Structure 1
Amino acid sequence: MLSINASATITLPLAITPAQEQRSPITESLNATEHSLSADEQHISAIINLLAPQQSITALSVWDIEDNRSVYQHNDQMLMNPASIQKLLTALVSAKQLGADFRYQTQLLTSAPAINNAQILDADVYLKFSGDPKLSHSELTNLVSSLKAKGIKHISGNVYLIGHNNKYLQAPGWVWDDLGICYAAPLSSFIIDKNCVYARLSANGYNQKATLKVMGNKPIFVENNAFFVNPSSKDNNCHLQLIRHDNNQFTLTGCHIGAKSLPLAIAISNPESYAVNVVKNIFEQQQLTIAGSFTITEDQLIDRKITLVAEHLSEPVAQLIDEMLLDSDNLIAEALLRTSAEHYFSHSVNFSQTTQAMVDILTDLGIDLTNANIADGSGLSRYNLLSAQQVLAVLKLMANTKQYQYLLSSLPIAGKSGTLKYKRYYNKAPLKNKVQAKTGSMLGVANLAGEFTASNGKRYLFVLIENGLSPTIKKHQKAPFSAIVLQNLMDIPLVTQPEAQQTNIQ
């Protein structure tokens, strides 16, 4: 049985230290195999043999950045579910295909050859969406208000919302009961406030119908039948259920234990309908009247004789990637991969073409994805399959290629930023500030991939994948498997290795 010191560091009774080296059973094992394995391999192999969980499957790859050599591999060719470390692939593809400086453009245009100070615009108006994953309601309002700023009060034509008609809004393998939650928000050309609506459920007493308030008067409808129950109730199987319907209509049923109000984040179900209603509301708020209608259309169907009135530019791709990796933002990941695929194929794409573009682009970069299965860009799909070796190849390319090194710098830092800021055992010594990596978690999956700095100051890339982790076992773990392993990797190398050929920075 392992002994875990929860107050400061994770300790193993058989962990190798200089004082124990002569009498440790692990050291004896190392001595027996020293002619076939390097000291590093012996050290890590002993750790893995000791720590490997019986109920789950693990894979580990470790790479010495300075000496450009493999240090250790364990099940590194086994295909496993990557969860959100899939975003490492998306980051590299986006950086390669779009470039760090690419920005999404959302434009307001008109069929009028020019806009004078007349109060009536005798023309059509176009809002051209581009799939900007961070376009906000306020930014869209600023675009529309540019018409009012030019003195216009009435539009005699129609308002067209331009974007691709995507029939499939979620990737294959997304779990159906996640689809109403904002981390699984639908991907579309039309993204406003990340296609997510916030609400709050408040109690009106136990076993009484609760009050649901949608924040910001957003154009969705929720039929609320939920209620709160007393914590002392014998009903322990109490949970809420959100049922999705067409046209951004939902039904909230079930119950919640306690009386404290509950914040909700609801993913819209129809981005096109939602965008039309949002834009319609903005025009009304700006007191701009329309003689025609608000309509969705494809880019190729519009009049080419149009005039740009105003435009909004997103943050550059480098910043979007930074947020995607730090916060593990699924919608940014899917939008970046979709846009990369559209630029790669030079036309609108579906999910199958999107993932094919990822494979093609990474193959061109020298990443071998043979036998891998790529279903999306975020890692949310249960259909994704990658090996630790393949993920390590992505990390190595980032580390060894100057134009992609900023991607590694964007990864969360243990105890300091992103998804590792408050993660258990990563927010304290010895892992705090020593590990910079992308997390990947979902039911049964606990992965980590990035780099760590050993106690001697050397930097190592690593990929640690764990699949088949029981929620019950995870709940009762005193420390994550990855944290225990990484703490014990801090002591490598045990001996000075011969210098290898240094990596050339491209």
Structure 2
Amino acid sequence: MKFMRNTLAKIIFVLLLSVFFISGKVETALQNEINELSSDSVLVHGAWGLCVMTADSGKLIAYHNMQQSLIPASTLKILTTGAAIGLLGPAFKYETTIEYDGIYDSINGIIKGNVYLHGAGDPTLNSFRYATGDTISLFESLPFRLAWKGIKKIEGNIIGDASCFADNPIPDGWTWSDIGQYYGAGTCGLSYSDNSVSIYFNSNNEDSCNITHTKPVLEGVTYKSDVTANAQRDEALVYGAPFGNIYYVHGYIPKGKKEFEVKASHPDPAYQCAKDFYDLCGKMISIVGKPTTVRRMEVLNEKVNKNRKILSIIYSSPLSDIIVKTNINSDNTYTEQLLRTLGNVKGSGGTTEAGILVVKKYWKSLGVNLDGLYMTDGSGLSRSNGITPLVQTTILQKISKQKWFPAFLKSLPVAGKSGTMSSLCVGSLAENNMQAKTGYINRARGFAGYVKTKSGKLVCFSLLANNYDCSATVMKKKLERILVAIANLN
């Protein structure tokens, strides 16, 4: 019996050991960090997983719960942006077209019909991420383009056409507390100004913070606020639905601010685009009609003419640059625009669901087993998403073999230097050496990316933690220790 107990104990020990690492392949520092986090009381009610493999051969180096599906938060963006650049190519550019129906009287410079802003899903149109100071924006130059063509009068409406995407802009699984915020701005086929709006408060009176104005000015939209000024930072939340006309603002902002900005999602970006274009054109071109959108016309059963001619085309920056803006800044709106673009260009239509099917099909085509992957959006904002560290690391390994890998790698924040990794791993071997996509939503943190180890070997990794009993900052520090240990591998 004693022999059997000893044998059983040895078997259990070996099995437990295999959960944490591959025997003989993990060095003491990383092994110790894995063991320490595995026994940490803050994860008694939670879960975490790790997978580390070589980029050249895909050989596993270390793992813990690597086949457990965990909430990835924004590390999910790797799947969407990787599939986008893989399927569309680094040089892909969006084309937003300025079109007209009816007749163009070129002699008198009159368009006897409507002018359309026909979107293709470009997330960068008038985006603050492409702001150039006082230089006139690409969008603001459009009226000049029309004037240069000799157009003096438009005898019709200015119509925003966002029909390349489905009207429902919000993916399933996004919460009511997210969709009113700037980071929860939904998609739009005619995305404009990051699909966001700024609400300005005067907080000089601590008991009553008044909304002074919004930028842009929103027609027919009312903001109701019970915001008070007793916070050190922006703790205000905006609640409202897409295409709605009443938004509620609740929470706290710092006191003593004459003009404090709270950013929120825009209820109708396509209309805002049409209205701003209408206002800009009106300064140099006579317009008989009004600004509107295809969606609004369809609601009113008004005829939408699809027989149009192109006046001008706005080209976006190349996709390789767009994914840098997306991943470095962890931009949810950019990512969801890319996902629906994949559905529209490579799938059955401009919906979230079609985009997800395209993304999954692409990774399967590269030989990735997607067991344990659950996608309800492309950005990771939904808590319904799930992925295993093994799946995520395998995808990173496949990416490292693609000819566009350098362009993708450029999009990942650098430890101690840029984006959401700028404050991490400072003073360690990982600083300026590790590049990873970070992820954070309530009770979910993660890191996924690449690092050159002490020996110069490039490795891929995925590190995810959910439902921990500590603050997000404390958990980040605990995971940071594992990141540093990975970088120190020989």
Instruction: Map 1:107-122 to 2 at 5 A.
Output: 107-111=97-101, 116-122=106-112
SS at match of 1:100: coil
Q: Which amino acid aligns with 1:489?
A: I
Distance 1:405 1:318 in 2: 10
Name the counterpart of 2:305. Answer: 302
Q: 1:271 aligns with which of 251, 269, 272?
A: 269
SS at match of 1:480: helix
Distance 1:490 1:157 in 2: 62
Q: 1:91 aligns with which of 61, 81, 94?
A: 81
Match status 1:190 vs 2:176: no
Name the counterpart of 1:427. Answer: 426
Aligned-pair distance for 1:389? 0.6
Q: 2:333 aligns with which of 328, 331, 334?
A: 331
Name the counterpart of 1:487. Answer: 484
SS at match of 2:194: helix
Cα deviation, 1:157-195, whole Å, max 9, x if unaligned, reads 343332316232111111211111111111110211011
Name the counterpart of 2:138. Answer: 139
Distance 2:281 2:378 in 1: 35
Match status 1:262 vs 2:260: yes
Name the counterpart of 2:405. Answer: 404
Q: Which amino acid aligns with 2:212?
A: L
Cα deviation, 1:225-252, whole Å, max 9, x if unaligned, reads 4454467xxxx9x964433265454233
User: CA separation of 1:295/1:333 partners in 2, compared to 1, >3 Å: closer, same or farther?
Assistant: closer
Question: Conserved in 1, the CA contact under 8 Å of 2:425 and 2:484?
Answer: no
Distance 1:292 1:242 in 2: 29
Distance 1:130 1:475 in 2: 39
Distance 1:314 1:427 in 2: 35
Question: Conserved in 2, the CA contact under 8 Å of 1:104 and 1:132?
Answer: yes
User: CA separation of 1:286/1:370 partners in 2, compared to 1, >3 Å: closer, same or farther?
Assistant: farther
User: CA separation of 1:118/1:483 partners in 2, compared to 1, >3 Å: closer, same or farther?
Assistant: same
Name the counterpart of 1:243. Answer: 239
Distance 1:82 1:209 in 2: 37
Deviates more, 1:215-224 or 1:321-330: 215-224
Q: Name the TM-score, length of structure 2 as normaliser.
A: 0.83
SS at match of 2:213: strand
SS at match of 2:238: strand
Question: Conserved in 2, the CA contact under 8 Å of 1:434 and 1:452?
Answer: yes
SS at match of 2:207: coil
Q: Which amino acid aligns with 1:313?
A: Y
Instruction: Map 1:31-430 to 2 at 5 A.
Output: 37-40=23-26, 44-52=30-38, 53-54=40-41, 55=43, 56-66=46-56, 68-111=58-101, 116-136=106-126, 138-164=137-163, 166-217=166-217, 219=219, 221-226=221-226, 228-229=228-229, 240-244=236-240, 246-256=243-253, 258-260=255-257, 262-291=260-289, 294-296=292-294, 302-304=305-307, 306-345=308-347, 347-421=348-422, 423=423, 425-430=424-429
Question: Conserved in 1, the CA contact under 8 Å of 2:158 and 2:289?
Answer: no
Aligned-pair distance for 1:155? 1.7
SS at match of 2:92: coil
Distance 2:420 2:314 in 1: 29
Distance 2:418 2:474 in 1: 26
Q: Which amino acid aligns with 1:85?
A: T
User: CA separation of 1:171/1:68 partners in 2, compared to 1, >3 Å: closer, same or farther?
Assistant: closer
Distance 1:140 1:460 in 2: 42
Question: Conserved in 2, the CA contact under 8 Å of 1:195 and 1:271?
Answer: yes
Cα deviation, 1:337-385, whole Å, max 9, x if unaligned, reads 111121222x523222221222122212212112421111111111111
Distance 2:106 2:54 in 1: 65
Aligned length: 451
Q: Which amino acid aligns with 1:308?
A: I
Question: Conserved in 2, the CA contact under 8 Å of 1:248 and 1:274?
Answer: no
Deviates more, 1:61-70 or 1:187-196: 61-70
Name the counterpart of 1:14. Answer: none
Aligned-pair distance for 1:407? 1.2
Q: Which amino acid aligns with 2:52?
A: V
Cα deviation, 1:382-430, whole Å, max 9, x if unaligned, reads 1111000100111001112223342123211111112112x2x423334
User: CA separation of 1:220/1:184 partners in 2, compared to 1, >3 Å: closer, same or farther?
Assistant: farther
Q: Name the TM-score, length of structure 1 as normaliser.
A: 0.80
**Percent of paired sites with the same residue:** 23
User: CA separation of 1:382/1:334 partners in 2, compared to 1, >3 Å: closer, same or farther?
Assistant: same
SS at match of 1:455: coil
SS at match of 1:400: coil
Deviates more, 1:402-411 or 1:129-138: 402-411
Question: Conserved in 2, the CA contact under 8 Å of 1:117 and 1:150?
Answer: no
Deviates more, 1:289-298 or 1:356-365: 289-298
Question: Conserved in 1, the CA contact under 8 Å of 2:344 and 2:351?
Answer: no
Question: Conserved in 2, the CA contact under 8 Å of 1:398 and 1:405?
Answer: no
Question: Conserved in 2, the CA contact under 8 Å of 1:229 and 1:255?
Answer: yes
SS at match of 1:139: coil
Question: Conserved in 2, the CA contact under 8 Å of 1:219 and 1:274?
Answer: no
Deviates more, 1:50-59 or 1:457-466: 50-59
- Structure 1's unaligned 5+ residue stretches are 1-28, 494-506
Deviates more, 1:396-405 or 1:138-147: 138-147
Aligned-pair distance for 1:322? 1.4
Name the counterpart of 2:445. Answer: 446
In angstroms, what is the RMSD of aligned CA positions? 3.0
Aligned-pair distance for 1:313? 0.2
Question: Conserved in 2, the CA contact under 8 Å of 1:158 and 1:295?
Answer: no
Q: Which amino acid aligns with 2:166?
A: N
User: CA separation of 1:248/1:64 partners in 2, compared to 1, >3 Å: closer, same or farther?
Assistant: same
Aligned-pair distance for 1:143? 2.2
User: CA separation of 1:452/1:420 partners in 2, compared to 1, >3 Å: closer, same or farther?
Assistant: same
Distance 1:398 1:454 in 2: 18
